[in-house]
Structure 1
Amino acid sequence: MDDAAERTGYRRSAGSPRGQARRLELLASVTDDLAANGLVDFSLRRAAKAAGTTHKVLLYHFASAEDLLAQAVFALRERRIANALAAMADGGGQHTLAGRVGVAWRTLRDEEPGLRRVLDQAVGLTMYDPERYAELGRGSTLQYLELLVSFCPQRWSADRKREVAQLVLATLRGFVVHRLTSDDPGGAEAGFAALARALEREEAVGD
């Protein structure tokens, strides 16, 4: 079979149910490798080794190395969000904005080091090379904002929910950076206590 026919065959099969299943299987293997080893030296060849295939096969299923990386990081952020929601359920549920954000913060603060490391590295890549890795940053904001908007009181307008969600997201990101760069471990906790009080006051305000 010549190269053109091989490429056509792969691309046709990639859209089939079997091809989609194979794509998800590859993505899961690459995602697990990132969680275990970080993404500092991420490459298609490393990803292919983790998935037990070749880099050419990965490129039949994913548009590029950046596409594969973005989708694997998306899956890891979904894992982080699922952990927060599970913690909320285990705690009997939280019925205030401050309470829900508190659970999310504690989950983020105490999560497994490998997950935290790779997601911190993804943010670093976005800042280091925004042209190449802009999608990592945009994807992060969209995923987390959706969760934080869902924490807001139902009676609030869509604009108000988004404004408060933006505030919470930016503040929590700042706390994460503070924990990584400061020798004051209590600083982020003190800051979060102030954020929680502000959210309680915001929720007490009428529409």
Structure 2
Amino acid sequence: MAGQGARARLLAAVVEHLAATGVGELSLRRLAAEIGTSHRMLIYHFGSKEGLLVAVVRAVEDNQRALLASLRDLDHAELGRAFWRALTDPALRAHERLFFELYGQAAQGRPGTTALLDGIVESWVEPLAELERARGRPPEEARTRARLALAVARGLLLDLVATDDERGVTAAMDLFLDLVAD
């Protein structure tokens, strides 16, 4: 493994592993052994355990934004429902747990994780606002609606992670989508 290719392969392996196991108090040595590399390689590519965790969340978020972009051709309500179905797929539940676990650590100021907070909202507001502007919304209203949609989605995903009530959170999301579908 060399350069960015090696980093990308390591990151993909870590994302999958941590999604299945969670972060907890996992050490870099143990993580490295479990994914078939050395802790030195992880430090070389990510700087620290915290740097690796920030990269994990950013990678998962990038994948979700790519999915959103792939749904652009659907009408607004269909897009919202298709994206929600993808986010709540039981196969992704571990990724959602991982997101909230790392987000909470960063919000609490865990050393090395606070960089995660840079752009954690804004990186979603702009793509969502772009969808709203395409529906004819003025820029400020589009940004406000985007922030609201992000807050609702994250709140319902946290509800899902905590309760595993997929039917209940999907009903709530359906209602939200109906309310904003004017």
What's the secondary structure of 1:140's corresponding residue? coil
Distance 1:139 1:52, change over 3 A: farther
Check whether the contact 1:45–1:55 (CA below 8 A) recurs between aligned residues: yes
Cα RMSD after superposing both structures: 2.9
Does residue 101 of structure 1 match 2:80?
A: yes
Check whether the contact 1:84–1:103 (CA below 8 A) recurs between aligned residues: no
Check whether the contact 1:39–1:121 (CA below 8 A) recurs between aligned residues: yes
Distance 2:79 2:63 in 1: 17
Q: Which residue of 2 is the match for residue 197 of structure 1? A: 178
What's the secondary structure of 1:200's corresponding residue? coil
TM-superposed deviation, 1:183: 8.4
Structure 1 counterpart of 2:5, one-letter code? A
Distance 1:114 1:83, change over 3 A: farther
- The alignment's TM-score, normalised by the length of structure 2, stands at 0.78
Distance 2:19 2:165 in 1: 27
Structure 1 counterpart of 2:94, one-letter code? G
Q: Which residue of 2 is the match for residue 125 of structure 1? A: 105
Distance 1:31 1:49 in 2: 15
Check whether the contact 1:74–1:139 (CA below 8 A) recurs between aligned residues: no
What's the secondary structure of 2:88's corresponding residue? helix
Higher mean C-alpha displacement, 62-71 vs 135-144: 135-144
Distance 1:35 1:182 in 2: 18
Distance 2:141 2:153 in 1: 18
Of 148, 169, 177, the residue aligned with 2:150 is 169
Higher mean C-alpha displacement, 75-84 vs 31-40: 75-84
User: Percent of aligned pairs with the same residue?
Assistant: 29
Does residue 64 of structure 1 match 2:48?
A: yes
What's the secondary structure of 1:42's corresponding residue? coil
TM-superposed deviation, 1:159: 2.4
Does residue 143 of structure 1 match 2:123?
A: yes
TM-superposed deviation, 1:19: 2.2
1:1-207 correspondence to structure 2 within 5 Å: 18-85=2-69, 88=71, 93-96=73-76, 98-112=77-91, 113-127=93-107, 129-132=108-111, 133-154=113-134, 155-182=136-163, 186-201=167-182
Distance 1:75 1:60 in 2: 18
Check whether the contact 2:97–2:161 (CA below 8 A) recurs between aligned residues: no
Report the count of equivalent residues: 179
Contiguous gaps of at least 5 residues in structure 1: 1-16, 202-207
Distance 2:24 2:164 in 1: 25
Report Cα offsets for 1:104-146 as digits up to 9, x if no partner: 222222241322222232233234x235333334443233334
Check whether the contact 1:101–1:151 (CA below 8 A) recurs between aligned residues: no
TM-superposed deviation, 1:22: 2.3
Contiguous gaps of at least 5 residues in structure 2: none
- The alignment's TM-score, normalised by the length of structure 1, stands at 0.70
Structure 2 counterpart of 1:73, one-letter code? V
